[in-house]
Amino acid sequence: MDGAFILAHVPDYLSGAWVTLRFGLYGVACSLLLGLLCCLLRYFRVPVLRQIAGGYIELARNTPLLVQLFFLYAGLPRVGIKFSAEACAVIGLTFLGGAYMAEAFRSGIESVDKTQVEAGACIGLTMGQNIRYVIFPQALATAIPALFANVIFLIKETSVFSVLAMMDLMNVADTLRTSGGRTVEVLFMLMVTYLLILLPVSVLATLVERRLRYTGFGN
């Protein structure tokens, strides 16, 4: 392996990592919000919106992100709806991630005992207060492993942003590889950079999960 080549291209990878991380995190944040919203619509059985949320979740989970991005970037402009590549990236990732996050939140909320909800109601809390103080903290504790798994999954999925001509990690590596050869070095650095981004997230997930286990709920 050519160490000089690797060192020379560290800045390229850093800028790619910045794109990956930035738009990945935008997507993750929006996914969490969308997921929570969908989960609540279904939990409260809000008429019509609940069905829309359910349909959306199936659509998003059963189509590839690549196809979703193509649809946004190449399909919609044909009917006059045009987004920038960056907007497509965030919207696409949110579209996919929202569905997964909704399911993770649902697993959490469904794990909260019905009697807990009743106990909250019985001390005169409004439904909103009950969710905020009683249901959500307990649901979150159960959902945390799935939520973290989704975060890691979504950041990895950003590798398809390259089809939007965004200079994310994947595109940086692709460009280097096709222009100068050195396939091994280029791909090696690509793997290492993804690992450096995602390993801390994994470690954080483990720490949070362990902490929750020690705090141990159990009635």
Partner 1 sequence: MNDTILHVQDIYKSFDGNGVLRGVSMEIREGEVVVIVGPSGCGKSTLLRCINGLEVIDSGSIYLRDEKISGRTKDLHLVRQKIGMVFQSYDLFPHMKVMDNLLLGPTKALNKSKTEVEKEALEMLERVGLKEKAYALPRTLSGGQKQRVALVRAMLMRPEILLLDEITAALDPEMVSEVLNVVIDLARGGMTMAIVTHEMRFAEAVADRVVFLEDGMIMEEGKPEEFFSAPKTQRAQHFLQSFTYASKRDKKSDKNNFED
Sites of contact with partner 1 (CB under 8 A)? 113, 115-116, 118-127, 129, 133-134, 137-138, 141, 215-219
Of the pair 62, 219, the CB lying nearest partner 1 is at 219
Q: How far is CA 214 from CA 99, 135, 141, 142, 205, in A?
A: 30, 20, 12, 13, 14
Q: Buried b / exposed e across 56-88, counting CB within 10 Å, b at 16+?
A: bbeebeeeebeebbbebbeeeeeeeeebebeeb
Which helix H or strand E contains 164, and what residues bound it?
Answer: none
- Closest approach, Cβ 104 to partner 1, in A, equals 18
Residue closer to partner 1 (CB basis): 37 or 140? 140
CB of 209 to partner 1, least distance (A): 15
Query: Shortest distance, CB of residue 217 to partner 1, whole angstroms?
Result: 4
For partner 1, the closer CB: 2 or 113: 113
CB of 22 to partner 1, least distance (A): 34
